[in-house]
Amino acid sequence: METRPLSSLTPGSRGVVAAILIPPAHRGRLLEMGLLVGTPIEVIRFAPLGDPVEIRIRGYNLSLRRHEAEQVMVRDA
């Protein structure tokens, strides 16, 4: 199945986390917030300049920096 960066989705799009390419030293915070491989996500909105990206995950909204969203790979839900 094809994957693409989370940052390439449009608001309202849904997907499933397929891979997290962020280096392990910086990945812990995202894992603690529930961003795990296999987790369904929905893109809520992008800030006016594209940074940050707001997603809905596990029933709550989470904002990611654009450079983080570019390293989270998703597949279609």
CATH at 69: 2.30.30.90
In this predicted model, which residue has the larger pLDDT, 56 or 30?
56
Predicted TM-score (pTM) of the model is 0.87
**Residue 20, domain extent:** 4-76
Rounded CA separation 61/13 (Å): 14
60-to-1, 25, 26, 40, 74 alpha-carbon distances in Å: 27, 24, 21, 12, 18
User: Would you say 58 and 7 are in contact if contact means Cβ atoms under 8 Å apart?
Assistant: no
pLDDT band at 48 (very low <50, low <70, confident <90, very high): confident
Question: What is residue 60's three-state secondary structure?
Answer: strand
Strand partners, 56: 42, 61
Angle at 57 between CA 75 and CA 68, to 5 degrees: 65
State the residue for tokens 């940050």. 52
Domain total of the chain:
1
Query: Does the pLDDT of residue 46 top 80, yes or no?
Result: yes
